Amino acid sequence: MSDPSGAEPCRLVVRAPHRTFEIAVPTDVPVAELLPTLVLYAEDEDGEDLDESGLDHDGWVLQQLGDEPVPTSETLASLGLYHGETLYLRPRRDQLPPIHFDDLVAGVAVGSADRPDRWSPPHTRATLQALALVALLLGALVLFLGDRQQLTVIAGAGGAVLMLLGAWAASRAMGDPIASTGLAACAVLYMALAGTALTAGEPGTLLTGARVLTGAMAGAGATTLGVAAVAGSVPFFTGVFAFHLLVALGALMVMFVPGATVGAAAGGTAALALLVATFSPQLSFRLSGMRLPSLPANPEQLQEEIDPYPARQVLERGTLADHFQTALLAATGSVLTVSLVVLAWTGGWVAVSLCVVTALVTLLQTRGMSSARQRLSHLAPPVAAAVALVLYLTRGPEGTPLLVAVMVLAATAGALAVLSWSVPGKRLLPHWGRAAELLQAVLGVAIVPLVLGLFGVYGLLRAVGG
pLDDT band, residue 310 (cuts 50/70/90): confident
pLDDT band, residue 2 (cuts 50/70/90): very low
pLDDT of the residue at 334: 95
pLDDT band, residue 72 (cuts 50/70/90): confident
What does the alpha-carbon distance between residue 88 and residue 310 come to, in Å, rounded to a whole number? 39
Q: What is the mean pLDDT of the chain?
A: 84
Report, as an integer, the average pLDDT of 450-461: 87
Report, as an integer, the average pLDDT of 318-330: 92
What does the alpha-carbon distance between residue 133 and residue 139 come to, in Å, rounded to a whole number? 10
Return the exposure string of 252-284: e unless at least 16 CB atoms fall within 10 Å of the residue's CB, then b.
bbbbeeeebbbbbbbbbbbbbbbebbeebbebb
Report, as an integer, the average pLDDT of 379-408: 84
Q: Dihedral of CA 35/41/44/49: which sign?
A: positive
| Three-state helix/strand/coil letters over 57-86 | HCCEEEECCCCCECCCCCEHHHHCCCCCCE
Between 149 and 264, residue with greater pLDDT: 264
Residue 398 has pLDDT above 90, yes or no: no
What does the alpha-carbon distance between residue 11 and residue 27 come to, in Å, rounded to a whole number? 10
Give the number of residues written for the chain.
466
Half-sphere exposure of 57 (CA within 13 A, CB side): 13
Residue 6 has pLDDT above 60, yes or no: no
| DSSP at 300 | G
Amino acid at 48: E
Assign residue 151 a region (left: φ > 0; alpha: ψ between -120 and 50; beta: otherwise). Answer: alpha
pLDDT of the residue at 4: 42
Cβ–Cβ under 8 Å, residues 237 and 323: no
For a pLDDT cut of 90, what percent of the chain falls above it? Answer: 39
Cβ–Cβ under 8 Å, residues 344 and 389: yes
User: 94-119, pLDDT tens digit by residue?
Assistant: 776 776 666 677 667 766 666 667 78
- Candidates 26, 114, 17; CA nearest to 67 is 114
Sheet holding 9-15, edge to edge: 20-26, 9-15, 86-91, 60-63
What does the alpha-carbon distance between residue 40 and residue 47 come to, in Å, rounded to a whole number? 10
- Candidates 416, 357, 406, 359; CA nearest to 383 is 359
Residue 460 has pLDDT above 90, yes or no: no
pLDDT of the residue at 191: 94
pLDDT of the residue at 329: 95
Report, as an integer, the average pLDDT of 420-437: 82
pLDDT of the residue at 3: 45
Cβ–Cβ under 8 Å, residues 230 and 173: no
pLDDT of the residue at 199: 82
Lowest mean pLDDT among 149-153, 245-249, 291-295, 376-380: 291-295
User: 176-188, pLDDT tens digit by residue?
Assistant: 889 999 999 999 9
- The greatest distance separating any two alpha carbons of the chain, rounded to the nearest whole angstrom, comes to 110
pLDDT band, residue 27 (cuts 50/70/90): confident
For a pLDDT cut of 70, what percent of the chain falls above it? Answer: 90
Which range of 44-53, 78-87, 93-102, 238-247 scores highest in mean pLDDT? It is 238-247
pLDDT of the residue at 355: 94
Cα distances (angstroms) measured from residue 315 to each of 91, 372, 373: 38, 19, 20
Report, as an integer, the average pLDDT of 18-29: 82
Going along the chain from its start, the domains and CATH numbers come out as: 9-91 (3.10.20.90), 125-290+317-399 (no CATH)
What does the alpha-carbon distance between residue 274 and residue 444 come to, in Å, rounded to a whole number? 9
What angle, rounded to 10 degrees, do the helices at 349-365 and 430-454 form?
A: 150
Between 302 and 349, residue with greater pLDDT: 349
User: 221-247, pLDDT tens digit by residue?
Assistant: 999 999 999 988 899 999 999 999 999
Lowest mean pLDDT among 126-135, 274-283, 312-321: 312-321
pLDDT of the residue at 41: 78
What does the alpha-carbon distance between residue 192 and residue 196 come to, in Å, rounded to a whole number? 6
